[in-house]
Amino acid sequence: MSMTAASMATKPQVNKIPNGIETTVNGNEISLQFYTPSTIRVVKHPAGVSAEEKSLAVTATPQDVTTTVRTSGNSAEIKSDRLRARLDLRDGSISFFDTKGKTIVKEDRGPVFTPIQDAGKPSTMAKQSFRLDKEEAIYGLGNLENGKLSQRNVSRLLQPGNVEDGIPMIVSVKGYGIYWDNYSPTHFIDNENGTSFESQVGKSVDYYLMSGDNADGVIAEMRHLTGQVPMFPLWTYGFWQSRERYKSQQEITEVVKRHRELGVPLDGIIQDWQYWGNNYLWNAMEFLNPEFNNPQKMMDAIHSDNAHIIISIWSSFGPQTIPYRELDAKGLLFNFTTWPESGIAEQWPPRKDYPSGVRAYNPYKPEARDIYWKNLRRLYDLGMDGWWMDSTEPDFFNGTEEDMNAPTGMGSFRKVRGAYPLMTVGGVYDHQRATSDKQRVFILTRSGFAGQQRYGCNVWTGDTQSTWDMLRKSVPAMLNFTMTGNPNTNSDIGGFFAGGYNKSYMDNSAVKNPLFQELYIRWLQMGTFNPMMRSHGTDIKREIYYFGKKGEPVYDAIENAIRLRYTLLPYIYSTSWQVTNEASSFMRPLMMDFPADKNGWNRGDQFMFGDALLVAPILEAHYTTEKVSKADENTGWNRSEKDDSEKTTAVDFTKQTPADVYLPSGTEWIDFWTGERHRGGKSIQKKSDINTIPLYVRSGSIIPLGPDVQYATEKPWDDLEIRIYPGADGKFSLYEDEFDNYNYEKGMYSTITFSWDDSKHILTISDRKGEYPGMLNDRRFRIKVIDPAGQAKDVSYSGKSTIVKL
């Protein structure tokens, strides 16, 4: 075509829509629409194809955003007071800029739609490419056990799984994020040719570009789009003990009783599977195992010992159960192969000639979610405190084309597979909230997706191996999961499959094996700074009393980690309010707080816990070797009698060894244990024994420390120690409410703000704001400045502003 002919070609007509524009370029309809001044939705689809579908993750509707539209030459621009987007009218690509004209990110080219057949119907695969800066670090993509923090040069099929949950969202160190709103398996690729998302089923390219100035701002935009995080009860932040599995109600109640006798704090206990009996009764949602012959007595015993219990429930049902029959009668069960494959629970490999008949249910249909909750009421009415929702991927073995084509009511299973955990977890949350608001919903679940943070759930990293390598991979995996807007995450402390440390199958010798002792303690110390601190696994009993007794290094290290967790509960609970009220995050990669320090961009071995604490867990063996036989979620159940464990000798765990710690630039850091000060922007060697985790406090921080307790609510917070770490001005708000129920949503809570003026050495305690039933009207604060002078002062406080000179 000549230049004359080209100039005479008809330019695409750009039309205004509410908060946006739409046009057609190269046969693709394109719309750009602001949802907030900082978030713009992009939708592209072939002209004439109806592609508008209700989002499962996004719950927000567009705000009334003031926009300006300008068309010039071969481009159309739309901008708010925070963000500008330019659409190339020649190829349909879009570039995004800040208000000063600086490029945020650009699409590499227009969309690509590849024709496919989905469940026998014509559809397309949808792909969009982007061009990132060469050294730009990106985070997110869910829980990927690839050991990477920055997810550059990654190729991954994003979908839910046992030990990985792929979520199509990235956050850049530059302060923007992209959420790709598609639920089919999606291939993410980042290499020298560009960065792209390609979904197996997608009638449209549909994504949200969020500009937040920093990572916190991006996550705030994501939470606005997909839902805010409800408050968890205070007790959920205490210590949790679990096992695969407690085999009787006497066994589980005895664990709680032993903790109380030993004086080792405990708040949560978990009953794993098979309380229902055999595999044909899989997930019956009632106690049919004769070893649990009086479940109400069990519940009452646990509660009388001031502990809480949650119980394992699954996304599948055995053929002899009531829920199976109800769901099957209405066509609400899938036919694909899931766990367990055999009806005989005691044999491995599975006896497939005795198939279990277990089938996963279809949570995409409201009626199925209703039936699920109706049957769950049997456990709820016993006084169960929460739910351990296992296999919420769900387990999906040998998936065939027919399995992926299964109808869900929202299209094929292939089309919506990624949203399975979102739908099934959301079903339980919504039904319990509708039933009562006297107790906050708490769900522990194995899989997560975008938006799931709104459903009161903590997502764990799945059935991981008990190896140092997996411990190291767990930290960046949880940090990247956090970056998808899901702040609540944890892992099986000690790893799940630990049989390689035993002398023979299930002899529990590993608790005396220094190889496992060292790994378990370091995992426990790292878990002290997770949103949930939960010891769990198979092959080895993890309860503290199996490791020895008080006064012995291993026992003491375990107890001290648990006690540290309880000391920090006022800080943790106040941080949880920041997560709920300010869209903050618990576990924070260093780039969130120190984006200018490139040395921290890919430090997957350290993280901030809240605003104040720098956690540098020891993730390598210092006293033993790391060699152990490995297992995974597929091979770990292969039980055999063997003696292939490492031969070990006595280990002196009291010997100090150096650990490398990087202190980010831009602030000073104070050793939590010694008070020693360090300037940031350098690496140091911290000498530690088995009892110590390297832990540093940012200067200008204020940290409240709680009382010595056996469970989270044992004592009121009427005598808190308030630690001030000088070197900069600081502020902290102590949050308090009734510690459970949803009255906080009605404004029934209080905050007390502490402000530190570093130059004047003055602490101002503000007027208390708000009130709630049972609130402390009068209390004492023990103020302590962490510096060589060791200044301290006791202050009586009755809710009125108080100035303390130190």
Q: Please, are residues 124 and 136 in contact by the beta-carbon 8 Å criterion?
A: no
Give me Rg for the CA atoms of the chain: 27
Q: Please, are residues 123 and 201 in contact by the beta-carbon 8 Å criterion?
A: yes
Q: Please, are residues 334 and 361 in contact by the beta-carbon 8 Å criterion?
A: yes
91 catalytic? Reply is no
Q: Which residues are within 8 A (CB) of 738 and not within 5 positions of it... i.e. 6 or more apart?
A: 744, 748, 772, 773, 774
d(CA 181, CA 565): 37
d(CA 571, CA 568): 5
From 463, 556, 559, 668, the catalytic residue: 463
Residue 735 has φ and ψ, to the nearest 5°, of -105, 135
From 216, 272, 393, 492, the catalytic residue: 393
Q: Please, are residues 173 and 218 in contact by the beta-carbon 8 Å criterion?
A: no
Buried b (16+ CB within 10 A) or exposed e, 161-181: bbbbbbbbbbbbbbbbbbbbb
Q: Please, are residues 696 and 786 in contact by the beta-carbon 8 Å criterion?
A: no
pTM (2 d.p.): 0.96
Sign of the four-CA dihedral 502, 634, 190, 137: negative
Q: Please, are residues 492 and 504 in contact by the beta-carbon 8 Å criterion?
A: no
d(CA 675, CA 685): 15
Task: Assess whether the region 11-226 and the region 716-805 belong to the same CATH fold.
Answer: yes
Residues in the chain: 806
Nearest to 31 by CA among 223, 221, 224, 208: 208
Burial classification of residue 419, based on how many CB atoms lie within 10 Å of its CB (0-12 exposed, 13-18 middle, 19 or more buried): buried
Structural domain boundaries in the chain:
11-226, 716-805
**pLDDT score at 350:** 84
Query: If phi over 0 gives left and psi between -120 and 50 gives alpha, with beta otherwise, what is residue 747?
Result: left
Q: Cis (ω within 30 of 0) for the bond into 319?
A: no
Q: Which residues are within 8 A (CB) of 608 and not within 5 positions of it... i.e. 6 or more apart?
A: 587, 588, 589, 590, 592, 593, 614, 615
Q: Which residues are within 8 A (CB) of 441 and not within 5 positions of it... i.e. 6 or more apart?
A: 230, 386, 428, 429, 432, 433, 455, 456
d(CA 236, CA 385): 10
**CA distance to 216, 219, 223, 585, per residue, from 582 (Å):** 9, 10, 10, 9
Nearest to 487 by CA among 403, 575, 593: 575
Q: 299: helix, coil or strand?
A: helix
d(CA 730, CA 763): 9
Q: What DSSP designation does 612 have?
A: T
What is the token pair recorded at 49?
């194809």
d(CA 299, CA 321): 23
Q: Which fold has domain 11-226?
A: Immunoglobulin-like (2.60.40)
H helices of 156-214, where? none
**CA distance to 163, 356, 505, per residue, from 639 (Å):** 20, 20, 7
CA angle centred on 589, ends 583 and 594, rounded to 5°: 90
d(CA 604, CA 145): 12
- Per residue in 388-438, pLDDT tens? 999 999 999 878 999 999 999 999 999 999 999 999 999 999 999 999 999
Residue 802 one-letter amino acid: T
Sign of the four-CA dihedral 163, 167, 168, 174: negative
Q: Which fold has domain 716-805?
A: Immunoglobulin-like (2.60.40)
d(CA 536, CA 545): 15
d(CA 204, CA 664): 42
Regions of the chain with pLDDT less than 50: 1-8, 641, 643-645
393 catalytic? Reply is yes
